[in-house]
Amino acid sequence: MPRVVTAARAGVCFGVKRAVALLEEALALGAREQRPVFMLGPLIHNPRFIAQCSDRGAVVTNLAGILFPHTTIRLGSREYDWASSFISF
């Protein structure tokens, strides 16, 4: 019978840590200003994390869901490059 060995430690890459830190900042700002924080798709593929963010005011959406004024958004570099081609930031 095969044996399954799990790592003693596991973590996430620098990019994920940075993205989560930026989301934390956006959620704090959104809470202070009583504004929603939108994510273009889930930040990471972890339903528990996304649910926790949703409880704190994050909304997972597509670009059409954020096109109104006075909204705090989080864009990854690819999304920013794409969105900046037709939206003025």
Is residue 54 very low, low, confident or very high in pLDDT (cuts 50, 70, 90)? Answer: very high
Any domain includes 19:
no
Nearby residues of 18 by Cβ (< 8 Å), 6 or more positions away: none
The sign of the dihedral angle between the CA atoms of 72, 73, 74, 75 is negative
Predicted pLDDT at 51: 94
In a domain, 72, yes or no: yes
- Residue 52 domain flag: yes
Q: Which of 1-5, 47-51, 62-66 has the lowest mean pLDDT?
A: 62-66
**Residue 83: inside a domain, yes or no?**
yes
Residue 16 in domain: no
Mean pLDDT of 44-68: 82
Answer with the residue of higher pLDDT: 89 or 8: 8
Specify if 59 maps to a domain. yes
Instruction: Specify the number of domains making up the chain.
Output: 1
Maximum Cα interatomic distance, the chain, rounded to a whole number of Å: 59
Question: pTM of the prediction?
Answer: 0.61
Structure token pair of residue 52:
């926790």
CA dist list (Å): 80 to 12, 40, 44, 48, 51: 23, 10, 17, 26, 24
Question: What is the chain's mean pLDDT, rounded?
Answer: 79
Q: What average pLDDT score do residues 11-37 get?
A: 88
